[in-house]
């Protein structure tokens, strides 16, 4: 059917009015132009010595945790003109808060959106999308104020963007909580298995506490061989271009090591290091990392290693995985043996490691316990691998939605 001249002209007029640039519905404002600086009552912040582990009201500060601690002091609680955004002046951490709370410690800025922001949750995500320069432990609010953000003029679009991002963030946070719970479950399972075993037998008191009656307590050097490693000369560039993994404390971030940051040639290993087989346990015995943690890990493949670590090679009748978890279970005792060298470096002596008392069940029960703990470890590892992907998705959507390149409304249901 042919269209009339009037219909054709009308269609042309409507097409010419449709914006081709998504930014035609957006405007750019400075952060300052989006803030409500009205006469809001400034309530006192709580110093760290006022933090409580339990209380009626949450304390929110500039730390990474959403809730830092608790208080019963009602006079410090912000309950009106919510929601607000809490900005860490030193940390650059942003938090969206829509419930009564008290502010904690120094460096906590309260940001309220004005009428330019049609949906407050959108403002939170808009601020998250900004590149605030990192000035160390200096104040950052002055840099935030200088930045600008682009926002849609439609409340529905602001709302759509906020809800799309909230959905992705909620899933990410749920997985983070799951990771925390899995770690707690593993710790509880480990404590139970090393105290009661898998055979429901009576327990006995030993120098390492209660353990199953049939188990023994032995020194570590009685169930394993301990070896030292070394570092080849950095002047020999050809030594550092091989295929053999070379483990050092900076690699010890996982319980199981499948690879390392640096690799050696066979010549380098023979000249200045040592190659140990797969299923060898590594323990960091020197370095400032010992001020915070005592890394222990299992080599998944043959590896060389440096002099800041000890290699623990279990005797043939003992399970490497069981001994790995036994050392982790006894980590607190090892940590108490850490001293400081003449140069100020933290150090765990060889004798302290060799003399560590460890529980020793039968070989079959060692395998059972190792299998149960490995299954728990695998769950943790799966969630840990997923979290960076969730964060990457969130950051990608944040950038796309906040630049108008990805429309938000098709991503969510109408509410």
Whether residue 143 sits in one domain with residue 51: yes
Handedness of CA 47, 51, 57, 58 (dihedral sign): positive
End position of a domain, from candidates 125, 153, 181 = 153
Q: What was the pLDDT predicted at 2?
A: 44
Please check whether residues 209 and 274 belong to one and the same domain: no
**For the chain, what is the domain count?**
3
Residue 278 and residue 280: Cα distance in Å, rounded? Answer: 5
Residue range 305-333: average pLDDT? 97
* Segment among 43-52, 206-215, 247-256 with least mean pLDDT: 43-52
What span, in angstroms and rounded, lies between the C-alpha atoms of 131 and 113?
Answer: 19
Tell me the percentage of the chain whose pLDDT exceeds 70: 92
Q: What is the 3-state secondary structure (H, E, C) of the chain?
A: CCCCHHHHHHHHHHHHHCCCCHHHHEEEEECHHHECCCCCCCCCCECHHHCECCCCEEEECCCCCCCCEEECCHHHEECCCCCEEEEECCCCCEEEECCCEEEECCCEEEECECCCCCCHHHHHHHHHCCCCCCCCCCCCHHHHHCCEEEEECCHHHHHHHHHHHHHHHHHHHHHHHHHHHHHHHHHHHHHHHHHHCCCCCCEEEECCEEEECCCEEEEHHHCEEEEECCCCCCCCHHHHCCCEEEECHHHCCCCEECCCCEEECHHHHHHHCCEECCCCEEEECECHHHHCCCCEEEECCCEEECCCEEEEEECCCCCHHHHHHHHHHCHHHHHCCCEECCCCCEECCHHHHHCCEEEECCHHHHHHHHHHHHHHHHHHHHHHHHHHHHHHHHHHHHHHHCCCCCCCHHHCCCC
Domain end, chosen from 153, 188, 204, is at 153
**Is 7 inside a domain boundary?**
no
CA distances from 54 to 34, 65, 67, 78 (A): 35, 16, 12, 18
Structural contact between residues 121 and 94, judged by C-beta atoms closer than 8 angstroms: no
- The reply to whether 372 falls in a domain is yes
Q: Is the pTM of this model over 0.95?
A: no
Q: Which domain holds residue 383?
A: 156-215+362-415
φ, ψ for residue 307, nearest 5 deg = -80, -5
Say how far apart CA 332 and CA 294 lie, in whole Å.
9
pLDDT of res. 12: 41
Residue 313 and residue 222 share a domain: yes
Residue 244 pairs with which residues in a beta bridge?
Answer: 264
Residue 24 has what pLDDT?
A: 55
| pLDDT tens digits, one per residue of 175-229 | 999 999 999 999 999 999 999 999 999 999 999 999 999 999 999 999 999 999 9
Last residue of a domain, one of 99, 122, 153: 153
Q: Do 149 and 188 fall into the same domain?
A: no
pLDDT digits (tens, 9 = 90+) for 344-396: 889 999 999 999 999 999 999 999 999 999 999 999 999 999 999 999 999 99
Q: How many residues does the chain have?
A: 415
pLDDT (0 to 100) of residue 340: 87
Instruction: Note if the bond before 83 is cis, omega within 30 degrees.
Output: yes
What is the sign of the dihedral through the CA atoms of 167, 173, 179 and 180?
negative
State whether 230 and 348 are in the same domain. yes
Looking at residues 231-252, what average pLDDT do you find?
A: 96
What is the average pLDDT value for the chain, to the nearest integer? 90
8 has pLDDT over 90:
no
| pLDDT of 6 strictly over 60 | no
Q: Is the pLDDT of residue 166 over 90?
A: yes
Residue 12 lies in a domain: no
Do 232 and 197 lie in a common domain? no
71: in domain: yes
Whichever domain contains 270, its CATH number is 3.90.220.20
Nearest to 76 by CA among 47, 119, 96: 47
Whether 57 and 74 have beta carbons less than 8 Å apart is answered as yes
412 in a domain, yes or no? Answer: yes
pLDDT of residue 20: 46
Residues 347, 224 share a domain: yes
Residues 348 and 225 in one domain: yes
Q: What is the pLDDT of residue 407?
A: 79
Whole-number pLDDT of residue 56:
94
Domain CATH for 398: 1.10.287.1120
> What φ, ψ does residue 49 adopt, rounded to 5°?
-75, -5
| 260 and 307 part of one domain | yes
Tell me: do 354 and 227 sit in the same domain.
yes
Q: How confident is the model at residue 406 (pLDDT cuts 50, 70, 90)?
A: confident
22 versus 363: the higher-pLDDT residue is 363
Residue 281 near residue 324, CB atoms below 8 Å: yes
| 340 and 387 together in one domain | no
Instruction: Say if residue 10's pLDDT is above 70.
Output: no
283-296 pLDDT, tens per residue? 999 999 999 999 99
Residue 9's pLDDT band (cuts 50, 70, 90): very low
Read off the pLDDT of residues 111-146 as tens digits, 9 standing for 90 and up. 999 998 999 999 999 999 999 999 988 999 999 999
In a domain, 301, yes or no: yes
Both 194 and 107 in one domain: the answer is no
């Amino acid at each position: 059917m042919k269209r009339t001249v009037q219909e054709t002209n009308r269609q042309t007029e409507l097409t010419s009015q449709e914006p081709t640039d998504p930014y035609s519905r957006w405007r750019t404002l400075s952060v300052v132009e989006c803030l409500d600086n009205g006469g809001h009552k400034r309530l006192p912040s709580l110093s760290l010595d006022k933090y409580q582990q339990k209380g009626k009201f949450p304390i929110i500060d500039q730390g990474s945790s959403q809730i830092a601690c608790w208080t019963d002091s009602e006079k410090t609680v912000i309950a009106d003109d919510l929601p607000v955004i809490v900005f860490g002046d030193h940390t650059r951490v942003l938090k969206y808060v829509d419930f009564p709370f008290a502010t904690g410690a120094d460096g906590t800025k309260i940001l309220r959106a004005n009428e330019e922001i049609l949906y407050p949750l959108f403002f939170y995500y808009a601020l998250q999308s900004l590149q605030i320069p990192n000035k160390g432990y200096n104040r950052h609010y002055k840099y935030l104020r200088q930045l600008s953000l682009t926002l849609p003029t439609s409340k529905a679009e602001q709302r759509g963007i906020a809800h799309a991002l909230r959905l992705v963030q909620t899933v990410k946070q749920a997985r983070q909580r799951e990771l925390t719970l899995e770690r707690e479950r593993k710790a509880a399972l480990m404590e139970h298995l090393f105290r009661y075993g898998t055979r429901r037998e009576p327990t006995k008191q030993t120098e390492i506490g209660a353990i199953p009656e049939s188990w023994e307590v032995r020194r570590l050097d009685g169930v394993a061989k301990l070896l030292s490693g070394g570092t080849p000369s950095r002047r020999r560039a050809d030594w550092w271009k091989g295929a053999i993994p070379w483990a050092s404390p900076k690699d010890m971030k996982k319980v199981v090591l499948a690879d390392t940051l640096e690799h050696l040639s066979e010549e380098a290993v023979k000249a200045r290091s040592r190659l140990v087989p797969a299923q060898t346990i590594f323990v960091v015995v020197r370095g400032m990392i010992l001020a915070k943690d005592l890394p222990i890990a299992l080599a998944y493949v043959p590896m060389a290693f440096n002099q800041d670590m000890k290699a623990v090679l279990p005797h043939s009748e003992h399970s490497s995985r069981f001994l790995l978890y036994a050392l982790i279970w006894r980590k607190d005792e090892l940590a108490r043996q850490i001293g400081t060298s003449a140069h100020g470096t933290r150090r765990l002596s060889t004798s302290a490691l060799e003399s560590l008392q460890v529980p020793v069940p039968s070989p079959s029960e060692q395998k059972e316990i190792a299998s149960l703990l490995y299954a728990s470890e695998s769950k943790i590892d799966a969630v840990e691998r997923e979290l960076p992907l969730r964060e990457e998705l969130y950051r990608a959507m944040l950038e796309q939605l906040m630049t108008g390149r990805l429309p938000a409304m098709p991503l969510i249901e109408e509410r």
